[in-house]
Amino acid sequence: MERDAALEAVFMPVRPASTFEETVERLGSAIRLGLLAPGSKLPPERELALRLRISRSTLRQALTALVQSGHLVSQRGRTGGTFVAEQPPLTEQAGEPLDQGAWEVLDFRVAVEAGAAVLAAERGSEAHFDRLDELVAKMGDEIEDFEEYRLTDIRFHIGIAEAAQSPRLLSAMTDVQSQMSDLIALIAHPPEVLAISNEQHARLVKALRKGDGALVARQVREHTEATEHILAGLLPVQAAGFPLDA
């Protein structure tokens, strides 16, 4: 009975603010915990989208990310569908979870990125924001090549710190981006994930141009929280520390 209740929680409606990332987290966590057993078949897309209250396009993006990370397998034909992999990566029985210090990096990132962005909204010039827009456009052309995308992504976030015109924040941003690269390297990077992340970049630059610090802070938190959801869905549960229905 407890297992059935837990499985029902997997398919509860997803919050609309971050549907893609939370869907990846929800399904990835359920696979890792064994609530969705190896070899089991997921409900049909139409039914699953209705239960999660998300669009089918968003669901397909999440399923694609989980297929590329090795958690799910897609099969065609009359008996096809989407199945849990027989040996999903990074289950509780496989590998060591990240230590708590890794999750402290995520907190450090929120503080540095939010602070830098708020100051950038106050102090940044049009030249700074034009450069950020150029980097967003460049990332848009690089979503099929993660290595190139990540290099541009780092320059984008450092560019925000440059717009804040604070040497200490610039140093802190460089440090946190280096630490984040170690975490990001542990998960899959399908183009669907990168495209959504870059859409958030674009919205952030628009908020910076408005000079609205409160809006900028919310945009930064949306962006950083998205990474947390993806990590929570694809890494060992002991490391993630996020509840299934967060």
pLDDT digits (tens, 9 = 90+) for 53-106: 889 988 988 898 888 888 899 988 777 899 999 887 754 444 444 557 777 999
How high is the pLDDT of residue 58? 86
Quick check: pTM over 0.85? no
Q: Which residue has the higher pLDDT, 29 or 157?
A: 157
Range in 73-77, 109-113, 133-137, 143-147 with the lowest mean pLDDT: 73-77
All domains in the chain, ordered by first residue: 2-84 (1.10.10.10), 100-236 (1.20.120.530)
Q: What is the DSSP string of 29-46?
A: HHHHHTSS-TTPBPPPHH
Q: What is the DSSP string of the chain?
A: -HHHHHHHHHTSPPPGGGHHHHHHHHHHHHHHHTSS-TTPBPPPHHHHHHHHT--HHHHHHHHHHHHHTTSEEEE-STT-EEEE-SS-TT-TTSSPPPPHHHHHHHHHHHHHHHHHHHHHHHH--HHHHHHHHHHHHHHHT-TT-HHHHHHHHHHHHHHHHHHHT-HHHHHHHHHHHHHHHHHHTTS---HHHHHHHHHHHHHHHHHHHHT-HHHHHHHHHHHHHHHHHHHHHHS-HHHH---TT-
Q: Which residue has the higher pLDDT, 27 or 128?
A: 128
How high is the pLDDT of residue 18? 67
Instruction: Give the pairing type, strands 72-75 and 81-84.
Output: antiparallel
What is the overall mean pLDDT for the chain? 84
Q: What mean pLDDT do residues 190-208 have?
A: 93
pLDDT band at 238 (very low <50, low <70, confident <90, very high): very low
CB 35 within 8 A of CB 8: no
- Cα dihedral 197, 201, 207, 211 in deg (nearest 10): 140
Range in 42-51, 189-198, 227-236 with the lowest mean pLDDT: 227-236
Q: Which residue has the higher pLDDT, 246 or 102?
A: 102
pLDDT digits (tens, 9 = 90+) for 31-61: 877 888 899 999 999 999 998 888 998 898 8
pLDDT band at 237 (very low <50, low <70, confident <90, very high): very low
